A and B are shown apart, each in its own frame.
Chain A
Amino acid sequence: MGTRAPTILIADDDKDLVHLMASALTRAGYEVLTCFDGQEALQVIQERASHIDLVILDVLMPKLDGVEVARHMKNDPSTSHIPILLCTGQGEETIVKGLDVGGVDYITKPFSMRQLLVRVGVLVQRFVRADR
């Protein structure tokens, strides 16, 4: 993965799922940053935009939902470049809304860590390496 592994921020209110994803991604060689609600995630993303290469956003979160976080990110020039993978347990409507505000892909719960790693790998190839 070169000298600098991509940093992935994971935001989901399901703590167990966050840690499962964090472990899987860390084992695969990525750097991670974990958040448990939308407000915290947005704040961390704004503060450390230059250190975050990809954001995995749960659509349904307390305080600020994933769609709102994505909207804020896309409206702010300092965070608009960061690709967003949406993580959703819901139907078509939420997925469409999430993609509409700037998500580049989505993953439907429940998903395997194998599927997560493949999707993240594709996004990193597409968005992260090209920037370097």
Chain B
Amino acid sequence: MCGMPAVKVLVVDDEQDTRKLVRLTLERRGWTVKEAAGGEEALQLLGQEHFDLVLLDIMMPRVSGYDVLQRMRSDERRPSTKVVFLTAKGRSDEVDYGLELGADGYIVKPFSTRELFDYLSGIMAA
């Protein structure tokens, strides 16, 4: 954890409580966090600024997490942004599909804030 430069994260989830918990957890470690309440907002923010990591809920109304990832991966300006899905427990089909689409990893809800940070640190160090 020490020595890792501050990571800039976009957390995309339609549940405000989840976004807030992720934000508190990562900001406490010195990471910078922005929030998007849905896929459209995420794509808009991604078009405006660079993020090192995007945490993506899958099931969101209108523009899903899959849609956001597909749009990101088809845009060559953002090859270095890592993507981790947040998914509800027991949906292994969702996970497989997400990884096929090019996600760097996934976190299953409910997650502990420690697991979240340790996992994301590992992804960023890879």
Interface residues of A (CB under 8 A from B): 5, 7, 9, 15, 18-19, 22-23, 26-27, 29, 31-35, 40, 44, 48, 51-52
Contact of B28 among A26, A34, A35, A52 (CB under 8 A): A26
Number of interchain pairs (Cβ within 8 Å): 43
Contact of B21 among A22, A29, A44, A48 (CB under 8 A): A22
Q: A7-B114, A26-B24 are in contact. List 14 more A-B contacts (CB 8 A).
A: A7-B113, A15-B17, A19-B17, A22-B17, A23-B24, A32-B21, A32-B112, A33-B110, A33-B111, A33-B112, A34-B110, A40-B110, A51-B112, A52-B112
Within 8 A of A (CB), among B17-56: 17, 20-21, 24-25, 28
Interface residues of B (CB under 8 A from A): 17, 20-21, 24-25, 28, 110-115
Contact of B114 among A18, A22, A31 (CB under 8 A): A31
Contacts of B111 in A (CB 8 A): 33
Closest A residue to B17 by beta carbon equals A19
Task: Give complex CA distance A52, B17 in Å.
Answer: 21
Of all A-B residue pairs in the complex, the 3 with the closest CB atoms, nearest first, are A33-B112, A31-B114, A19-B17
